[in-house]
Each structure stands twice: as structure tokens, then as C-alpha cells.
Amino acid sequence: MTSNGTRWALLGATTATAVGVGRLVARRRRRHQPDRQDGWYVVRRGITVDRPVDAVIGFWTDRERLDRALAEWATLEQLDENRWRCVAIDPAGGGTEWRAELTVDGPGRLSWRITDGPVPQEGHVDLVAAPQDRGTEIRAELRYRGGGPLRRALGLARGDEPDLGLRDALRRIKSLIETGQVVDTRHDPSGRSPAQEQATDKVRERLTTGGRA
């Protein structure tokens, strides 16, 4: 027979643990939320490309290479000297389409603004020479809106998708500049049935998306 005292002690200990765990989770979540500024989420991501700044700029201005790089998921149309219109298809499928306007603001700076897409978004990229002999740092800042005001206030907005997309894009760009391709193992042979292959593709998707950039 358990005494009342023991029951209260157990209840107390459980509550204390639950509150502690809850606080830990809340803190973790806060740490993983993007910064906020004037109602925008702001994320900054960078990647280092093993080429001098000039070569990286050269990649952006070589129309043929850029077209080839973007072939699978976007088209580019030049509006005037410094502005392009970009129509991108969500690589994850679902038929989502984005329209963006890209502007070259200076020798190592490029900015973009989504003019038509599911999430209001704008951003810019700076190219900075990396220390030692390490090439170029591509530093991107992305601002986007998402979720309702209440969800945002509670920190529940699923705000990480544009961020994941940005990290993916940076990794793709790095690989294209350094190797001319982005490796893909999705269609490598296996002994899987079509159903198993579909499940495995989902796993691949999870292991491909996001990461640290």
C-alpha cells in the first residue's frame, strides 16, 4: 500500500521533470527559430567555394553554364542590363511555381525578390574572398514571411522550409561551380521493389534536404 506522502512525492517529482523537459524543449525551439525583424524571418547561411571571387562571378555571368545548371528547375529571362526574371518549379514536386526578380547590385552582390510565390521572400547574396587560400565565401541572407501572427507569436510557424531550400541551393551552387554537376544516386540500381524504392526515395529526400549548407 503506497502512502499518500509517497504519492505526493512522486507527483511532485513527475511535475518537476515535466516542467524541466518542457523548458528545455522550448529553449531548443527558440534557439532553432530564425531571427525576426519587422515581421520578417531572417536567416543567414554561407558556403565556401574553392574558387576565386572572379571565377564565382564568372559562373553567374556565363549564361550557358547557368542555364545548364538551372535546367531542371528554373528558367531565366533577362529584363535589362542588371535584372532577370526567374521562374522556378519546386524541385520537391507539387507543381508549385515561383517567380522572382533578380538584380545585380554590384560586383559581388546580387539580390532577389519573389514577385509571385507561396511565401513572400527576398534576399541577397554577397561574395567575399575567404581567408588563406580557401576561395570565396558565398554569404546569403534570406527574409521571408510565413505562418499566421498567432502561430508566429507562439513560435510554431513552420518557418524552416525556405531556409532548407536556401541551404540546398547553396550546396548545389557550390557543387556546380566546383565540379560542373550535382551528384545524384536516386536511380542507382538496387534489389528493391517499386514500393520499397518509393519509401527509400523519401528517406533519400530527408537525407538530402537541409543540413548545414
List interacting residues with other proteins (CB under 8 A): 48, 50, 134-135, 171, 174-175, 178-193, 196-197, 199-200, 203-204, 206-212
DSSP-based three-state secondary structure for 100:
strand
Q: Which is nearer to other proteins, 150 or 203 (CB)?
A: 203
Residues 6+ apart with CB under 8 A from 177: 49, 51, 55, 56, 59
Q: CA-to-CA distance for 128 and 163, rounded, in angstroms?
A: 21
Q: Taking the complex as a whole, how short is the minimal distance between the CB of residue 213 and other proteins, in angstroms? A: 9
- Look at residues 71, 104, 58 and name the one whose alpha carbon lies nearest to residue 172: 71
Q: Which is nearer to other proteins, 118 or 210 (CB)?
A: 210
- Look at residues 111, 109, 163 and name the one whose alpha carbon lies nearest to residue 136: 109
Q: Which is nearer to other proteins, 70 or 104 (CB)?
A: 70
Q: Taking the complex as a whole, how short is the minimal distance between the CB of residue 20 and other proteins, in angstroms? A: 23
Q: Which is nearer to other proteins, 148 or 180 (CB)?
A: 180
Q: Taking the complex as a whole, how short is the minimal distance between the CB of residue 77 and other proteins, in angstroms? A: 26
Other Cβ atoms closer than 10 A to 209: 14
Q: Taking the complex as a whole, how short is the minimal distance between the CB of residue 14 and other proteins, in angstroms? A: 25
